[in-house]
Amino acid sequence: MPVNSFDNYPMSWKPEKKALKRPFYKSIAALLEQDIINGFVAPGTKLPPQRELADFLDLNFTTITRAYKVCEVKGLIYAVTGKGTFVAPNAARSITISTHKIRDCIDLGFVASFEQSNEIVAQVMQSVVSKDYLKELLNYNNPTGIPHQKAAGLNWMQPFGIQADQEHISIVSGALNALAITLTALFEPGNRIATDLYTYSNFIDLAKMLHIQLVPIPGDECGMLPDELDKQCMQLNIQGIFLMPSCNNPTTIMMSDVRKREVAIVIRKHRLILIEDDIHAFLTAGIICDYQQPMFNLIPEQSIYICGTSKSICSGIRVAYMVYGDAFREKILQAIFNINVKTSSLDAEIITELILSGKAHEIVSQKQQLAQSANDIYSEYFPQRELIGHPLSFYRWLSIGEHYNGIFLETNLKKHGIRVFHSDRFLSGSTTPNKYLRIALSSTNSLEELKIGLERFKNYLG
């Protein structure tokens, strides 16, 4: 290869040639990863074209292609057809949202579950502990749930439109556990999953951990755009799709029944595996007229349906129901055993008792009332902001314009005694000029504390 003089040529990233070792593609990938993590290459940066970088390093074009592929699989960079390769918005930091390290702040960030109803749960727990078969709940038997627990789960999901049998349902340790099981069982490193542009931050980090690439698909007020999904599927080899149709986290968008059918056609056409996280179905079924059925009913043979109970019943008892098509059954069961060994039968029994006693419906009613009150309070402080999406959402999606930096804003608000999360945490793809904040309404100890937090927040924004 000829020696090129790129010393003064402007490039967004120039790896140190002397640091390269064989195999070169691994060395280049390691240098790029190090520079991204250390902040030398900022999120959203457009990387040098592969041929240009190959000329700069006097290496073969395919070597650069392989290096970029390694980083893409790790979730550090992503490619946009016809536009180039970019550093992922959250490549350098974890965006997993938890309650860790929260002190002296009113939490408007982490979406909890209006914990005021936990007194009802505590009372039911006492009755479960007194059952004569308590010891049978403490062994390794029934790794995916005892039959009567599965029957209760199917009964719980019936108002949501789920039709299944006990051979195709498993009880697992929460919705995030169900997502980890699904990705481990049905996908491989390097596989691609389509998501909404803004999606569940813990799912983004989970995909990154498992080296699964996310492909952002734009949407509108009715949900993901089917034509855009179809276009990306024709350009890229996409294996799956992740959706939260009943109430997207973080945007609160509800996918209309018409849009569900349109997207289902594309899913069937490209044989995608649908992961449907329906944790907010309890807020939607029977309340919102446009809610007809989950997407699972449209394409059950290609779907994994996940119904967690952390928001609807109790956040501290980690129970979720997984419903799946026959083609996925064996792989899902194997992954459940490999990851969990078994789900806690005691936890599942508590949720079962809450469902069968009718207390779960009492809790849901209480949470719906609290959600309505919290949304009314939010509208008092931000009356000029038109509410989009689910009217009973446990969080709101607030547009704040283009000039706010995410990390700076989150850090500065903490100094004012408030925690909120910036939209950059929820980006599955490239950064956008519009910026938002997700405001949790369900995490304060009382509605009065929520008012105090929103007052501080409003004063901060001016």
- Going from N- to C-terminal start, the domains of the chain cover 17-87, 96-462
Q: What are phi and psi of 300, to 5 degrees?
A: -60, -30
CA trace torsion 97, 99, 101, 104 (10° rounding): 120
Q: What is the DSSP string of 348-365?
A: HHHHHHHHHHTHHHHHHH
Task: Give the mean model confidence (pLDDT) for residues 113-122.
Answer: 92
Task: Give the mean model confidence (pLDDT) for residues 144-148.
Answer: 95
Structure confidence by residue, pLDDT tens digits, 54-102: 999 999 999 999 999 999 888 888 887 788 998 887 776 666 666 555 6
23 cis-preceded (ω within 30 degrees of 0): yes
Range with the lowest mean pLDDT among 34-43, 207-216, 437-446? 34-43
> What's the pLDDT at 271?
98
Which is nearest to 156 in space by CA: 335, 363, 326? 363
Which is nearest to 323 in space by CA: 364, 294, 349, 354? 294
Structure confidence by residue, pLDDT tens digits, 171-199: 999 999 999 999 999 999 889 999 999 99
Please name every residue paired with 274 in a beta bridge, in sequence order, or none if there are none.
241, 303
> What's the pLDDT at 5?
55
Q: pTM here?
A: 0.85
Angle at 17 between CA 11 and CA 22, to 5 degrees: 125
> What's the pLDDT at 2?
46
Q: Could you tell me which residue, 119 or 104, shows the higher pLDDT? A: 119
Binned at pLDDT 50, 70 and 90, residue 395 comes out as very high
Residue 158 pLDDT exceeds 80: yes
Domain 17-87: CATH architecture, name and number where available: Orthogonal Bundle (1.10)
> What's the pLDDT at 1?
42
Residue 403 pLDDT exceeds 70: no
Selected from 3.40.50.300, 1.10.10.60, 3.40.640.10, 2.40.50.140, the CATH number assigned to the domain covering 96-462 reads: 3.40.640.10
Please name every residue paired with 421 in a beta bridge, in sequence order, or none if there are none.
438
CB proximity list for 127: less than 8 A, separation 6 or greater: 353
Which is nearest to 391 in space by CA: 371, 364, 361, 377? 371
Range with the lowest mean pLDDT among 8-17, 162-171, 225-234, 309-318? 8-17
CA distance 339 to 354: 27
How far CA 84 is from CA of 11, 32, 59, 78, in Å, comes to 14, 16, 20, 9
> What's the pLDDT at 28?
95
Residue 386 pLDDT exceeds 70: no
Q: What is the mean pLDDT of the chain?
A: 90
